[in-house]
Structure formats: structure tokens, C-alpha cells
């Protein structure tokens, strides 16, 4: 396969920053993109589909995949739940001559960048403020007090890695954030 197709787009952010909505927007706008479906040991949320949003697997299965080196990267992101990017999913997308979009946490994005320093861009989506982040997470209604707090704590920690990323979008107004993302992704795909 020609090297020019082996690109990767990483979208990363603290949880609740609106990253998933921006990813969904990009997927609609650029048909050459394909969402990389991660494996996770967390429970599906309402409306989430197996093989579309995630591959929902058990912890023993996840550990076996770690052992078999099936992951490009993996992290224990929240409350003992594992998340990982499957090499097979990236290969599948490249075979289709498409560009994988990875919606992953900050540590995971840094790991992928280390392995693929060229032909990869990372976009960091920053929530406007901690108060707004809290409001959005509460609105989602899927978090317990404990998991909300865990996500807020992690968010503060993840913000400290912001400067690591070459593209930072502040998601104050969704339309503006999408426009900025369109420009970054469009330029990257055309290069
Ligand atoms: P959620 O539980 O809200 O779907 O995701 C929690 C966090 O895990 C988000 O920041 C999401 O981007 C991240 N995440 C999802 N898939 C992966 C993955 O494959 N690897 C890593 N490192 N993080 C992931």
C-alpha cells in the first residue's frame, strides 16, 4: 500500500470537552475518514452499539489482547476500566485507503505520536472552563458522583499536557470549533 494513505488523526481532550461531537462532525464532512473503534472493558451507555462505538469486551479478553500485543496503545483510563486501540482496526481502515480517526485520551495520543511521529496529527480539544466541563458531564447524565469526580480530576491532570499538542482548539462555540477542525484536517489530508 502506498505510504501516503498511512495517515492517522488523533483527537484528544479531557472527557466532556465536546470532542465526540467534533469527531462526528469531521466524519460527516470528510468521507475519506474512518472512525477507529477502540476496545473497552467499560459497560455500554444507552444507545452505544457493539462494533460501532466500541468493542465491549471483558477484562480477561482485554488482558489477553495486551499479552498478544494486539494493541497499538492501551490505557486504564477511568476507575479501573481499560481502553485500547486495536492494530487490526487501524490496518482495516488503511486497507480501505481511508484515514483512521482516533478519539483517545491524552496519554494514548502521546503514545501513538511516539510510534508514528510522521503522517500523524493530534488535535487537543480544550473545554472552555472547569465549570462548563462539569455542567456538560452532568447533562450527559451517565455519570455517578464518583465517576464525575474521577473525570474532573483527570481533566485537570490532562490539561497539563495541552502544550504537548501542536493543534489546540478551545471548544467555546461548537460551530467555531468545527470550522477550526475542518481547516486543520483539510490541510492535513491534502498534504
Ligand atoms: P468514554 O468512557 O467517555 O467513552 O471515554 C473515556 C475516555 O477514554 C475518553 O477520553 C476517550 O477518548 C478515551 N478513549 C477511548 N478509546 C480509547 C483508546 O482506545 N485508547 C485510549 N488511550 N483512550 C481511549
Compute the distance from residue 103 Cα to the ligand 1 centre, in Å.
Answer: 6
Q: Which of 10, 12, 16, 38 has the most ligand 1 atoms within 8 A of CB, as the residue to mutate?
A: 38
DSSP 45-77: PTT--BTTTEEE--HHHHHHHHHTT-EEEEEEE
Domain boundaries, the chain: 8-190
Is 38 a pocket residue for ligand 1 (Cβ < 6 Å)? yes
CB atoms inside a 10 Å sphere around CB 58: 9
* Tens-digit pLDDT profile for residues 117-169: 899 999 999 988 888 888 888 887 778 888 888 888 888 888 899 999 999 99
* C-alpha span between 122 and 82 (Å, rounded): 21
- Mean pLDDT value of segment 102-116: 94
The number of the ligand 1 atom at minimal distance from the alpha carbon of 103 is 12
Q: Is the pTM value of this prediction over 0.95?
A: no
* Tens-digit pLDDT profile for residues 62-79: 999 999 999 999 999 877
- Give the CATH fold of the 8-190 domain: Rossmann fold (3.40.50)
Compute the distance from residue 104 Cα to the ligand 1 centre, in Å.
Answer: 4
Amino acid at each position: 500500500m502506498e505510504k501516503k494513505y498511512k495517515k492517522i488523526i488523533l483527537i484528544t481532550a479531557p472527557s466532556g470537552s465536546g470532542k465526540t461531537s467534533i469527531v462526528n462532525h469531521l466524519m460527516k464532512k470528510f468521507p475519506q475518514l474512518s472512525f477507529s473503534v477502540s476496545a473497552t472493558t467499560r459497560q455500554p451507555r444507552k444507545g452505544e452499539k457493539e462494533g460501532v462505538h466500541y468493542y465491549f469486551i471483558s477484562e480477561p479478553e482485554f488482558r489477553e489482547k495486551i499479552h498478544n500485543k494486539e494493541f497499538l496503545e492501551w490505557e486504564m483510563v477511568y476507575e479501573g476500566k481499560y481502553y485500547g486501540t486495536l492494530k487490526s482496526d487501524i490496518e482495516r481502515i488503511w486497507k480501505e485507503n481511508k484515514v483512521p480517526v482516533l478519539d483517545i485520551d491524552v496519554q494514548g495520543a502521546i503514545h501513538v505520536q511516539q510510534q508514528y511521529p510522521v503522517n500523524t496529527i493530534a488535535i487537543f480539544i480544550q473545554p472552555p472552563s472547569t465549570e462548563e466541563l462539569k455542567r456538560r458531564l452532568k447533562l450527559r447524565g451517565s455519570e455517578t458522583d464518583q465517576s464525575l469526580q474521577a473525570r474532573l480530576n483527570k481533566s485537570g491532570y490532562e490539561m497539563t499536557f495541552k502544550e504537548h499538542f501542536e493543534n489546540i482548539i478551545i471548544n467555546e462555540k461548537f460551530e467555531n470549533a468545527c470550522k477550526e477542525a475542518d481547516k486543520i484536517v483539510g490541510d492535513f489530508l491534502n498534504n
